[in-house]
Structure 1
Amino acid sequence: MTNRGLSHWLLSNNINQTLQQISNAISSTGSSQEFATLFKVRNAQDPGPSSGMRLSKGNTPEVSPKALTANPATEVSNLLNASLSGALAPSELISVYIASENELSQSPIFSPQLKQFVKNSGLSEASLSQTLAQLPKATAPFTELGMDWLGQKNRRSFVIVPHFFAGQPDGAMIIVADHSPQISNLATITGVGSIVISVLCLASFSLAALLLWMRFHDQIKKNQDIEYLAHHDPLTGLPNRAVFSAKLNESLRQVQAKATNMGVMLIDVDKFKAINDTYGHGTGDIFLQVISDRLRSVFGNHLVARLSGDEFAVMIKSVSDVARLTKLASDMIAATKAPCVIDGKELKMSLSIGIARATDGNWRASRLLHCADLALYRAKHSGRSTFSWYTADMDVDAQKRKEIEADLVKALKFDQFDILYQPQYSLIDNKLKAYEALIRWEHPSKGTISPDNFIPVAEDCGLIEAIGDWVLVHACKEAASWEDTSLCVAVNVSADQFIPGVTEQKVAEALRLSKLAPERLEIEITENILIANTKAVVETLKNIRSMGVSIAMDDFGTGYSSLSYLSRFPFDKIKIDHSFIKNLGKSTYTDAIVTSIVGIGRSLDVLITAEGVENAEQVTLLRAAGCNLVQGFLLGRPASVKSHETLRARQAQDPMLIDPLARQLHSRIPEAAEPIQLSEPAPHKETTDKAVKDMELLLRDEQ
């Protein structure tokens, strides 16, 4: 229907444009006079019985006015015929009738001659009446193209060429024209146009459909993403805390209904912050994804969820007995031993696991998770990379930790901490060389609280940094007030309070506030600090050392990479851990290790301090091995500097007891030119010499 409407519109416009050229065509061919004469003669005669004028075939002589007067149906001349045919092209001219003014005024009642003309044309009188109805307002040739009820176009039509005399129509030339050629020509155009329109419509519809689909698809995808994020962790793809809590509550109801057991594991990534700080958060994210994959592989169909940054949880329903739960936890710890290589760097994976089991219907989700968390805390403080089961005594410990945590805040606010000092003596001249600052907490109601009890709590709750800053500033201020300006003060800095790029600023600020000479301050660190971020830590230590402050490695030999870190940073002092000194003289292996460490110190020109010296025999062996400094209960327990000065003043009154070392070792130290050797047989000496050589070779290899 659209195609037919378009064709009719195009045909009507083309024919109307063509009809506009008829008058010009008659004038240009010189037929105007003949055209006017036709109407003059026709109006002068009465209508005759003619059936209308037919177009002449061949060369028909021009019609004279006299002939028209005698026969109004006389054929049109070839010249006028050619003019009309050319003006109507490509439509074909079929026949012509010259209608008088009198005939036009009788419409729609036609004369016999006009009726016969209409009959011969193959068109209806109604069609002619419809066309002539436009004559009163016409000033140029016109036609009326009709369409039937099916939209089919009439291929023939009446074309009316009006003639005007004195401004009024005095007749009209009625032409029967066949538009078949024009309709055929337009069929191709309208077909192409219809196809183009159809394609455009289809394209528009498709585009609209696509836009609608994209909109709804995006909305659906967005809803799916929202739904997914509401129930899953976007990084690992594991269920999140909300899903885990809902599943746990549902499972506990089933456990209560069926009188069965179930277990929950809380899993924490050990030292994950160090990985982020060392390798960046991008590597940390990949590390968590690797851990989640290993959790899936070990726990299989059990529900594994990510609760927070580095904390995961596992709900186990099908396995409830202790032995099988323990086996799963052991398998998970074993799975962390496999290498984890990210961007060419092998990262150590370590997990701590806390396990709790619901054994009856009285358990609630919050209680079960709390118990697993207590077990997790025990696992983390039992050396990490292990698992621990919940026991009832953990609740008591947790309550104590909460009380200590709350009291620590008050202790910092009301300055309840105190610093005690333990002396360090030289084995070369038996003189006091330095004090190590040790924090103590005098609780107003609970008395003295050991650092072993409150330091781990401070590390867990994030107060260790503030406490460490307090110790550093107060130790420097007190050391600056000592009368003996040759004495140094050693301050421990733990891994939790050491921040690369910040710690050196705090050291500089403490020196500025206390006005303590930098060479009188010694910072003690453990190798755990270097493990976290070796490059950044070494840079910070170099900045601290550039101020004139000494750097000591504490607890040397207790870690895995002590020798490696000695090659990366030139320490000023090495402190032998008390665990070696305790067995000195009792174990051949311990003696060999201590002698080797001392030998390394001599090779690197680094001072060696032995911690935990408790008897004179240990002093004798350390002096014989070449150790530089000693520290322990034998030489003085942690106390105030004033207490140590009072004791030394009392000892100075006895000329036999000039210092504690002389007092403890006076009867044991012979005045001989040769240095004292270790009190072991010859094979022992060979063993220690070999150990020294082996340790020195190992150090050179690492360098």
Structure 2
Amino acid sequence: MSNMQSVHAASLRQSAHISYLHIKEVDDASLHRRQFYPTKGINAMTLRTKIIAMFTFVVALLLSLNNVLLYSFTPTSSGAGVPYGWTLLLLIPTLLLGYWFVEYLLRPVRSLLNQYDEEINHKNKQIDYYANHDFLTGLPNRILFKEQCRDALQRAKPSNQPAAILFLDLDRFKIVNDMFGHSTGDDLLRAVSKRLQQHTRFGDTVSRIEGDEFALLLDNADGDEAARVAQLLLDELSKPFVLEGNEFYVTPSIGISLFPNDALDEETLVKHADTAMYQAKELGRNHFRFYTKDMNEQMAKRARLEKGLRKALDRDELTVHYQPQIDLSTGEITGMEALLRWHHPELGVVSPADFVPLAEENGMIIPIGEWVLRRACVQNKAWLDAGLPPMRMAVNLSARQFQQNNLVEVVKQVLKDTDLPPSYLDLEITESVAMFNESYVIAKLHDLKNLGIKISIDDFGTGYSSLSYLKKFPIDALKIDRSFVAEVMNDTDDAEIIATIISMARNLKVSVIAEGVENEDQLTYLRNQKCTEAQGYLFSKPMDALELQSLLVRI
């Protein structure tokens, strides 16, 4: 072998060796990093290694080609270069080997690009999906719901086929978030969405608009069919939801608008259904209402009330009236209920039924409720100091008040500030609040009872309480809802409900107070059933403090 051939062979070996060492070194480093930073699919370090190796190989290949060409055209000792054919024989295998090696190294690049394309397509589909669906429940969101409504109305217009939109809001859902956290609230929303889908017709659209608001599109549904579906949803959603071993009770308020009667476009129909939903809430929740034109005026009044309510406390527009509670065996006044009144400067006296639900929704019930509690305790202590007979002062707690984390501390502080003996304070919670979450309610009621106060269940009979359920609660009295008393002489079902409640109270060894007693026939029935106490216009209307004090002095 000539000197030139030796140089050429050494150069090839050196280039190949350098390339091998570089590949091994980088691959080792890549392997080390993969052990600590594992990735899915093609490893980025491996790809970088192969690109570096390819670059190194190309450099080595160019050096080899340079040597080949230099060797081919350099005269030998005989004075002539290597023939052209031998040059091609040396060059072609080198180029083919280089092409194969480069192709081999590029395969991961192509694979990675294909993988990136698939991932981008998948991400784009996800973006499109979540742009039109609720992330939490998977239901269509407001955007997709309106598109589906628009398409449905386009199909319905040629034949004037009826359709209905139901707007649904969960009553007192905020209590779940405040009492148990947003995680539990999310679980409840998922359970509600699942139940909605289970109890709607095939082909109906169920969507989550936002928060605790849902909307349903019913194709080919007139007023009767919409009412049937709405009542079914009221019944099904009123049943308990079991989450992590705890029972939660929520009720819906549903507003309904009809195509083509109420509007011809989806925006107006949704707006009207939303308006009707707020009217359903004012009925006392767990109701449905159809949209009517006069509701727009009512909504304007509602907005006016909400604006005024935020200033009512500062303007001293709120007052407390008191309605006596009578012992039916002796005829004596044994207690009184504090009832909130609002004297609006322009609207006059506003009914609590109009503004209390509003205060619950916007959170004003918290400062207003504490103000009522303090005012009632101050007044009862004043009557005691004046030498009047000691009496219980019953104060209503709203659902929002009851879920306050510092409720017990607030009550304790009010009792301390007013110096009212705890035994003369009776806090009333509604049956729906008592049934909200058993373990939470029982614990809070025990904390309140430890202060020495009394606890009553208000509006009893309107929920689903059982004797076994009530036995767990540390209560002192059940209050029969006025709706049963009003028709007790005309409705055998109401009479039977009252008799059952009185019997339950006797078994629980607690008092029972009938609300809304207005005539002697009702009073006679209650006495015959051994009802212990009653209140209503038959005995006295609610009065301000001075009027009631005059009555108490005369007695």
Do they superpose with TM above 0.5?
yes
Task: Select which of 406, 414, 417 maps to 2:307.
Answer: 406
Structure number with greater CO (CA < 8 Å, separation at least 6) is 2
Task: Select which of 452, 477, 494 maps to 1:573.
Answer: 477
Change (3 A) 1:538 1:200: farther
Letter in 2 for 1:444: P
Match of 2:435 in 1: 531
Match of 2:325 in 1: 424
The Cα shift of 1:236 comes to: 3.1
Query: Which structure has the larger Rg?
Result: 1
- Secondary structure of residue in 2 paired with 1:645: helix
Match of 1:312 in 2: 214
Q: In structure 1, what is the Cα distance between the partners aligned to 2:229 and 2:519?
A: 48
Number of residues of Structure 1 aligned to a counterpart in Structure 2:
486
CA contact (8 A) 2:165 2:216 kept: yes
Match of 1:455 in 2: 356
Q: In structure 1, what is the Cα distance between the partners aligned to 2:488 and 2:436?
A: 32
Structure 2 residue 265 is matched with structure 1 residue 265: no
Match of 1:25 in 2: none
Structure 2 residue 409 is matched with structure 1 residue 505: yes
Q: In structure 1, what is the Cα distance between the partners aligned to 2:536 and 2:354?
A: 21
The Cα shift of 1:507 comes to: 1.5
CA contact (8 A) 2:165 2:273 kept: yes
The runs of 5 or more residues in structure 2 that have no matched partner are 15-70
The Cα shift of 1:240 comes to: 1.9
Letter in 2 for 1:309: G
- Secondary structure of residue in 1 paired with 2:540: coil
Structure 2 residue 541 is matched with structure 1 residue 641: no
Match of 1:130 in 2: 75
Letter in 1 for 2:165: M
Q: In structure 2, what is the Cα distance between the partners aligned to 1:590 and 1:127?
A: 116
CA contact (8 A) 1:236 1:292 kept: no
Q: In structure 2, what is the Cα distance between the partners aligned to 1:592 and 1:362?
A: 45
CA contact (8 A) 1:255 1:361 kept: no
The Cα shift of 1:218 comes to: 3.3
Letter in 2 for 1:415: D
Match of 2:269 in 1: 368
Q: In structure 2, what is the Cα distance between the partners aligned to 1:448 and 1:515?
A: 32
The Cα shift of 1:453 comes to: 2.4
Q: In structure 2, what is the Cα distance between the partners aligned to 1:253 and 1:590?
A: 48
The Cα shift of 1:219 comes to: 3.2
CA contact (8 A) 1:609 1:630 kept: yes
1:445-480 superposed Cα distances (whole Å, 9 cap, x missing partner): 222122122223333444333322221122122222
Match of 1:141 in 2: none
CA contact (8 A) 2:72 2:87 kept: no
The runs of 5 or more residues in structure 1 that have no matched partner are 1-5, 16-125, 135-143, 155-189, 652-658, 660-703
Task: Select which of 77, 89, 93 maps to 1:152.
Answer: 89
The Cα shift of 1:623 comes to: 5.5
The Cα shift of 1:523 comes to: 0.2
CA contact (8 A) 2:167 2:273 kept: no
Select between 273-282 and 369-378 the one with higher mean Cα deviation: 273-282
- Secondary structure of residue in 2 paired with 1:236: coil
CA contact (8 A) 2:163 2:259 kept: yes
Matches within 5 A, 1:125-274: 130-132=75-77, 148=85, 150-152=87-89, 201=102, 204-248=105-149, 258=158, 260=160, 263-271=163-171, 272-273=173-174
Select between 416-425 and 239-248 the one with higher mean Cα deviation: 239-248
1:588-622 superposed Cα distances (whole Å, 9 cap, x missing partner): 87667656655554554423333334455665665
Q: In structure 2, what is the Cα distance between the partners aligned to 1:492 and 1:559?
A: 17
The Cα shift of 1:401 comes to: 1.7
1:556-587 superposed Cα distances (whole Å, 9 cap, x missing partner): 33322152442111212222333454566788
The Cα shift of 1:427 comes to: 4.4
Q: In structure 2, what is the Cα distance between the partners aligned to 1:383 and 1:264?
A: 23
Task: Select which of 501, 512, 518 maps to 1:608.
Answer: 512
The Cα shift of 1:632 comes to: 2.5
- Secondary structure of residue in 1 paired with 2:462: coil
Select between 325-334 and 430-439 the one with higher mean Cα deviation: 325-334
Letter in 2 for 1:642: L
1:87-121 superposed Cα distances (whole Å, 9 cap, x missing partner): xxxxxxxxxxxxxxxxxxxxxxxxxxxxxxxxxxx
Q: In structure 1, what is the Cα distance between the partners aligned to 2:261 and 2:479?
A: 53
The Cα shift of 1:308 comes to: 1.2
The Cα shift of 1:202 comes to: 5.3
Select between 554-563 and 357-366 the one with higher mean Cα deviation: 357-366
1:193-251 superposed Cα distances (whole Å, 9 cap, x missing partner): x98x8897556323323333344433333333222222222233333212333454566
What's the TM-score, normalizing by structure 1?
0.59
Q: In structure 2, what is the Cα distance between the partners aligned to 1:303 and 1:410?
A: 42
Match of 2:382 in 1: 481
What's the TM-score, normalizing by structure 2?
0.72
Q: In structure 1, what is the Cα distance between the partners aligned to 2:354 and 2:90?
A: 106
The Cα shift of 1:438 comes to: 0.5
- Secondary structure of residue in 2 paired with 1:475: helix
Q: In structure 1, what is the Cα distance between the partners aligned to 2:73 and 2:367?
A: 110
Alignment RMSD (CA, Å) = 4.3
The Cα shift of 1:444 comes to: 1.6
CA contact (8 A) 1:475 1:489 kept: yes
Q: In structure 2, what is the Cα distance between the partners aligned to 1:585 and 1:305?
A: 45
Q: In structure 1, what is the Cα distance between the partners aligned to 2:165 and 2:146?
A: 13
CA contact (8 A) 2:262 2:291 kept: no
1:513-553 superposed Cα distances (whole Å, 9 cap, x missing partner): 33322222110112111222221111111111111111112
- Secondary structure of residue in 2 paired with 1:548: coil
Task: Select which of 505, 513, 521 maps to 2:425.
Answer: 521
Structure 2 residue 433 is matched with structure 1 residue 433: no
